[in-house]
Amino acid sequence: MDSVGKECQDLKRKYDECFNKWFAEKFLKGVTEDPCTKLFNVYQECVKKAIKEKNLNLDAIEEQVLGTSKEKQPPSK
């Protein structure tokens, strides 16, 4: 899948490959040490720059909702 930053495509693909393999073969079998952090950091640098250049609202994007009181609740009966 494409990245929002065209120039980040290759970095994203490399990171995704590393993560998907590790997730399936290691993490789900109890190994929690992540070998992909270096790839993740260079990809992040690229994608955060692309988000800024496109004037997307990073604060709104990074706002945490899941697990906080901002999560919507089912209506009480």
Output the smallest distance, CB 38 to another protein, in A.
13
- CA dist., res. 48 & res. 41, Å (int): 10
- CA dist., res. 31 & res. 74, Å (int): 35
What are the residues binding another protein (CB under 8 A)?
A: 1-4, 8, 12, 15-16, 19-20, 23-24, 27-28, 30, 32, 34, 40, 43-44, 47-48, 56-57, 60-62, 64-67, 71-72, 74-75
Output the smallest distance, CB 45 to another protein, in A.
12
List Cβ neighbours of 28 (8 Å cut-off, separation of 6 or more). none
Output the smallest distance, CB 74 to another protein, in A.
6
Position of tokens 């992540």?
34
